[in-house]
């Protein structure tokens, strides 16, 4: 009898431990809160670029990939890399992801905590603007999928994410990609958050929201960034 009770206790404890681990892994659950560090994959995030002319399509040199962080950072840590040459002086490189399991047509007050690797000094000089101080991080959410649309030979988003360092209806400014003043061009991890200014978004009638994270650039040159963690919580 004692042996049977001991086995049952061990099994019960193991099941509780597994259940707790699963509950803490919010990246695998539908809805919000949400968090990913991209160690297992892209977790449904889709990369794209907008705000440039059709004639500039090939010269933008946009690319994205799931890859390790750049040296001297921990190269075994996975991230989502986004890169482009800003020929339009207004390029918007972004990531989007659909979350489900929310209440339909409900307002959610959201806080984004974003960790990314940048190598650009905040007060650096560049064509059109600073590579660090004039590339702005934005985040938001909407009930419709953010899509790149072609209108009058120009690619723009179908939602209002604002222009460069200005807020829009569907996204707000979190800061820039600068790593600090007078810094050497070496990749460092930085965090950007809207904890002091939560963003309100309304889910659609299916209980879905599309999350949006990106950079609105005023620097007319090559920008390469690595997103290492995205966390979205309900305020």
Q: What is the pLDDT of residue 100?
A: 97
**What residues have CB less than 8 Å from 9, skipping those under 6 apart?**
none
Confidence band of 27 (pLDDT split at 50, 70, 90): low
Q: In what order do the strands lie in the sheet with 52-53?
A: 52-53, 154-157, 148-151
Bigger pLDDT: 6 vs 127: 127
Q: For residue 7, give the 3-state DSSP assignment.
A: helix
Torsion-angle region of 82 (φ positive above 0: left; ψ -120 to 50: alpha; else: beta): beta
**What residues have CB less than 8 Å from 129, skipping those under 6 apart?**
135, 217, 218, 219, 220
User: What pTM was computed for the model?
Assistant: 0.87
Task: Identify any residues that bridge with 46 across adjacent strands, giving them in sequence order.
Answer: 96
Has residue 21 got a pLDDT over 60?
no
3-7, 106-110, 223-227: lowest mean pLDDT where?
3-7
9-13, 183-187, 190-194, 213-217: lowest mean pLDDT where?
9-13
Q: For residue 5, give the 3-state DSSP assignment.
A: helix
């Amino acid at each position: 009898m004692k042996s049977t009770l001991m086995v049952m206790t061990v099994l019960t404890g193991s099941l509780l431990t597994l259940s707790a681990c699963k509950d803490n892994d919010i990246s695998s659950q539908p809805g919000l809160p949400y968090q990913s560090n991209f160690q297992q994959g892209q977790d449904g995030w889709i990369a794209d670029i907008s705000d440039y002319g059709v004639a500039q399509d090939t010269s933008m040199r946009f690319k994205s990939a799931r890859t390790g962080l750049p040296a001297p950072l921990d190269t075994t840590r996975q991230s989502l890399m986004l890169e482009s040459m800003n020929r339009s002086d207004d390029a918007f490189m972004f990531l989007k992801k659909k979350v489900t399991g929310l209440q339909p047509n409900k307002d959610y007050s959201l806080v984004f905590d974003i960790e990314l690797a940048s190598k650009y000094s905040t007060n650096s000089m560049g064509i059109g603007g600073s590579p660090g101080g004039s590339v702005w991080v934005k985040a938001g959410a909407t009930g419709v999928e953010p899509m790149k649309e072609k209108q009058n030979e120009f690619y723009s988003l179908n939602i209002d994410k604002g222009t460069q360092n200005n807020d829009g209806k569907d996204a707000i400014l979190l800061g820039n990609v600068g790593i600090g003043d007078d810094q050497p061009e070496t990749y460092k991890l930085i965090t950007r958050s809207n904890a002091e200014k939560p963003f309100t978004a309304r889910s659609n009638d299916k209980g879905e929201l599309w999350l949006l994270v990106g950079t609105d650039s005023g620097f007319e040159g090559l920008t390469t960034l690595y997103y290492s963690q995205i966390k979205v919580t309900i305020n």
